[in-house]
Structure 1
């Protein structure tokens, strides 16, 4: 049994653990391009639907994802001062502001046009940028019931690079629970198994509550939304 807060991954991934910066940036570009294609098929009701990010519709999530491509450093500093240094408050205000001044089509075009943008979150590097795009993409697709599977190599990299960091940041209580992916060889934590797709368990790590049917195990109710 894995020790508490221990990540274990196996299979082919163990044979090659180094991912180059070029490969990560290719994965980022692919993730953004694929999500843009998917969002291009949404109708007005979908854009206004709630995402897994509490209080945000699909359009606010996309506004947040594209904020780094549009926000200048001076404006970022000003927004942070206005938000009294609270990044989450600043990001929420920016997302709501941007959805009131830009159309869904403009936000979508911004995502597509910046597939190769070199933005990196502070201290996160390109692995952090990939994680940001994957997690928020799932906030949209899972909430809308779209059965899109993130490629395993992309998912492995996000999980291996960010599992412990995500738990600390989002304050998820995983005491007595072992997350166990049923589509790749990956576990996290120690205790009663909570099983599901790797991408669904990533959302658990990030403090999301999933729609019914995504998770299995005695503790599934703790991380599942009411139907």
Structure 2
């Protein structure tokens, strides 16, 4: 009877205490098993294989190459080609591609004097000389207005100094054979160095027609330092 009265009087209170203890135990157990999550972002790791990285690098280079090819430039192709004119080509093109665009070289072209591997730039002049053709250094201009380099134009033939040239060297001049070469040497030995190119007209056998052919091939440089043999 006394136990019944005790439970009836304090049962609710004991039940509340028991529930509180049980809640405390369960809550602590849950906290101890909970996984800690850091607020800091995890470091990203590159899980790509070396092969994948290499392929992606190749893809980037290919995209750059395609972008370059889509940019078009204009090239003026002149000289000994089948279809001279202004042509539009990708900015990655070379001289040989511009010449192909112009129909290729004709039968008179001297292809050995052209740098076919040179890379083109917008507004460039590509000139293909004829066999034996002589061109003034200032005759061909590049896209910037400056003289084009040797890869774009034929080399001008080096002038022959008629005051110092040997018989063999003089025979390299247009229309000058052994007899005229000997006459030039004899004249300068008898009369002294030539003072100007036109003095060559005083040599026996050298007329106006011959002089017109060779006037751009000769010079009288350093004649002041020469003495009569």
Q: TM-score range by the shorter chain?
A: under 0.3
More helix by share: 1
Instruction: Between the two structures, name the one with larger relative contact order (CA 8 Å, sep ≥ 6).
Output: 1
Normalized against structure 2, the TM-score is what? 0.20
Structure with max Cα Rg: 2
